[in-house]
Amino acid sequence: MSLTLVGIGISTNCRSRRPTSTEKSTLFRHSYFVTLSPARLYTGRITTILIGAMDLPPYCFGVWRLELTDEAHTFPQTDDFGRWDPPTDDPGNAPLYRTLNPIFFHCQDNTVTHVGGCGNFTSLYSVYSVQYDHEDCAFWIVNLDASTATDFGWRRLRFNHDTDHHRSEASFHGTNNKLLVERPDQQWPSRVLTDAYRATGFPQNAPPENQFYGTLHGDLALILGLLALSVPDNHILWYFSNHYNWGRWNMPVQSFPRLLPGANPIRGVVVKIYLGDDSPATRERMRALENGIILP
């Protein structure tokens, strides 16, 4: 059995030794992918590390379907250009959204398990509400549970650009409408996003020295929400149960429509991530996971 350690820079004069715990968990930026056995790592002077597969933090996440309440339909829902504009504030201080049909998953190492609830994973790490407007092909996001908040603002999905590594970051505070770059061998940009978010220009192959090229990292709950909306509601359980690989999410062989025939053109989900251990070290491991490669 082999594991993959992400982002290790090595010198050319290699020697065999065991990786230290510091090397497996310290967060840096950059460079090469190498394969190792669980026991031995062949490397010389380690210069950069992101996160090792042996150090992936266990976590639990829940996915709820999000929809407008009956009261919300009495509020204006279009902007000056006639585009859908999700309501955010009820003068009566009542939530305008409700959640239904939660599905929970436990992630540990290379395994995702569908569970009945998060059990001992009680510490909330992050939460996102994500909505997709099929007519406008746009995603709306907010980093809270829209079903419990009464005064907040949705934002259109945007990305931050990491020009050092030519990759994109999904974040509530993104500033760019499109991905920075794409590769011709990638499937997730066309499956997870719509054309409006695709990178400008032709996809390019990744340089050998930059395995981050074209990848997506960022707020995990947001990316999980985008993934949930990339398949119909009745495929969410199947998707998350079968497409996880050491911290990364892969695309299914078969593509699916985002909406089933006759479905509401507005779809939404709430995603919450819980930790079993709320120590600073565990949160640092989660941040390292989010700064690695979530969509390759």
CA distance 213 to 32: 12
59-112, pLDDT tens digit by residue?
A: 999 999 999 887 766 665 677 666 777 877 655 567 789 999 999 999 999 999
Those residues of the chain that have pLDDT short of 70 are 1-54, 72-77, 80-82, 89-93
Residue 26's pLDDT is what? 37
Residue 265's pLDDT is what? 82
Q: Which residue has the tokens 């993934």?
A: 227
Residue 74's pLDDT is what? 64
Could you tell me the pTM of the whole model? 0.80
Are 180 and 119 a contacting pair, CB within 8 Å?
no
119-139, pLDDT tens digit by residue?
A: 999 999 999 999 999 888 999
Locate the domains of the chain by residue range: 3-55, 59-290
Residue 11's pLDDT is what? 31
